Amino acid sequence: MVGYLIQRLLGVALTLLVAAALIFFLLDVLPGDPARFMLGINASDESLAALRQQLGLDQPAIIRFGQWLTGLMTGDLGMSASQRAPIAELILDRMQLSLPLAFGALILSTLIGLPLGIFAAQHQGKPGDAGLMGLAQIGIAIPNFWFAMLLVVVFAVTLKWLPPGGFVPWAENPSAAFRALILPTIALALPQAAILARVMRTSLVDVARQDFIRTARAKGLSKSQALWRHGVRNALLPVLTIMGLQFAFLIAGTIIVENVFYLPGLGRLTFTAISARDLFVVRSALLVLVGLVVIIMFLVDLLYALVDPRLKKRATP
């Protein structure tokens, strides 16, 4: 198990380093001058030069890359070019919204998707199964942003139960912060739940045909007992893979949902920073997003090992 862990951790570190280099140099070749963006079309050349120097843009790329990497190690990400605030603070501030949103959606989609998938598998071919899978098909087909707009029109504009958007910091009013996240979480979670339900169902239906389930039933277990005790754990492997991938989608999905609900999250921070060519913010925010996905993939790998003990043995020489 320890060997497996070390091998995985090395993989994580290497992935992050490659991602950092890719992000930095790809962004560096983007057309667009942040100083010109900030000072606009009537700015004089000397004002532009003064600002570029203030921002440290007059140094060669490789030196700026080195500075950024050292900054990443020490947690000092520098100042935002456009907002003139410490980047680490900006990102941490936005995380108080984006993390609960993404994880909330992950948990909600699991809580809805897995039981429904298991239920459908147990009732394979019956009306309950057909109905649920029909709903799931619709859930997959509906885009996040459209579903989000629908939720706002029904629950905020018409019923006025929940706010149509905006966010109140947790420290200021926790219940208002929670309420602000209800609709966005649902908007993100339901389409993902639909995918999970289908994968869970298919995987469980496959497992149900295996010999060991037949053996379990021959020993006197009912169909549901056999599925619950022996089937579900075996069916979880492909589901875990999908959940890991889904987290990347959820993180990307927050950008769209944050826009519909005008939430101050990491996605909007990145988006506005890209349009302002505030590459200082963009690269650090992107790396945080990559980091989140890599960590989740790492956890999924660990879960694999727990669910399927064979993996542990394979990795240890």
Partner 1 sequence: MKNSALHLAGLMAATLFSSTALADELRLGLVLEPPHLDPTAGAAAAIDEVVYANLFEGLTRIDQNGAVRASLATDWAISDDGTRYEFTLKEGVTFHDGTSFDAEDVKFSLDRARAEDSVNAQKGIFAPITKVEVLAPNKIAIEIANPQGNFLFNLGRGDAVIVAPESAETNQTNPVGTGPFTFVDWQQGSKVILEKNPDYVGDDVYLDRAIFTFISDPNAAQNAMLAGELDGFANFPAPETLEIFEADPRFNVVVGSTEGETILATNNKAEPFNDLRVRQAIAHVIDRQAIIDGAMFGYGTPIGTHFAPHHPYYVDLLDTYPRDIERAKALLAEAGYADGFKATLKLPPPTYARRGGQILAAQLREIGIDLELINVEWAQWLEDVFTNKDYDLTIVSHVEPFDIGIYANPDYYFQYDNKAFQDLIATLNVVTDDAEREKLAQDAQRLLSEDAVNGYLFQLAKTGVWDARLSGMWPNSPVEGNDLTQVKWAE
Q: Is 184 in the site for partner 1 (CB under 8 A)?
A: no
Q: Is residue 283 involved in binding partner 1 (CB under 8 A)?
A: no
CB 169 within 8 A of CB 265: no
Told to check if 94 binds partner 1 by CB under 8 A, we report yes
Looking at beta carbons only, is 2 or 159 nearer to partner 1? 159
Q: Which string of b and e fits 220-240 if b means at least 16 CB within 10 Å?
A: ebeeeebbeebbbebbbeebb
Site for partner 1 in 51-90 (CB under 8 A): 51, 54, 82-85, 90
The answer to the question of residue 198 lying near partner 1 (CB under 8 A) is no
Among 145, 146, 165, CA closest to 155: 165
Of 183 and 216, CB closest to partner 1: 183
Q: What are phi and psi of 68, to 5 degrees?
A: -65, -45
Contact 77, 71 (CB under 8 A): yes
**Tell me, what DSSP letter sits at residue 33?**
-
Q: Where does this chain touch partner 1 (CB under 8 A) — which range of 195-203, 221-229, 256-264, 288-296?
A: 256-264
Distance CA 219, CA 11 (A): 44
Is residue 237 a contact partner of residue 308, using CB atoms and an 8 Å limit?
Answer: yes
Distance CA 77, CA 69 (A): 9
Helices marked H in 56-126 = 61-74, 87-122
Q: Which is nearer to partner 1, 12 or 95 (CB)?
A: 95
Which of 78, 164, 238, 291 touches partner 1 by CB under 8 A? Answer: 164
Out of 38, 186, 216, 289, name the contact with partner 1 by CB under 8 A. Answer: 38
Please work out, in degrees rounded to the nearest 5, the angle formed at the alpha carbon of residue 125 by the alpha carbons of 122 and 127.
95
- Count of CB atoms situated within 10 Å of the CB of 183: 23
Site for partner 1 in 96-115 (CB under 8 A): none
Instruction: Examine residue 308 and tell whether it contacts partner 1 (CB under 8 A).
Output: no
Binding residue for partner 1 (CB under 8 A) from 5, 39, 237, 248? Answer: 39
Indicate the residue among 180 and 287 with the shorter CB distance to partner 1.
180
Q: Which amino acid is at 93?
A: D
Out of 166, 222, 223, 225, point to the residue binding partner 1 (CB under 8 A).
166
SS3 86: strand
Q: Write each residue from 215 to 234 as x if it is in contact with partner 1 (CB under 8 A), else as -, in one continuous string.
A: --------------------
For the CB of residue 61, give the shortest distance to partner 1 in the complex, in Å: 17
Chain residues in the site for partner 1 (CB under 8 A): 30-34, 36-44, 46-47, 50-51, 54, 82-85, 90, 93-94, 149, 152-153, 156-157, 159-167, 169, 179, 259-265, 268-269, 272, 275-278
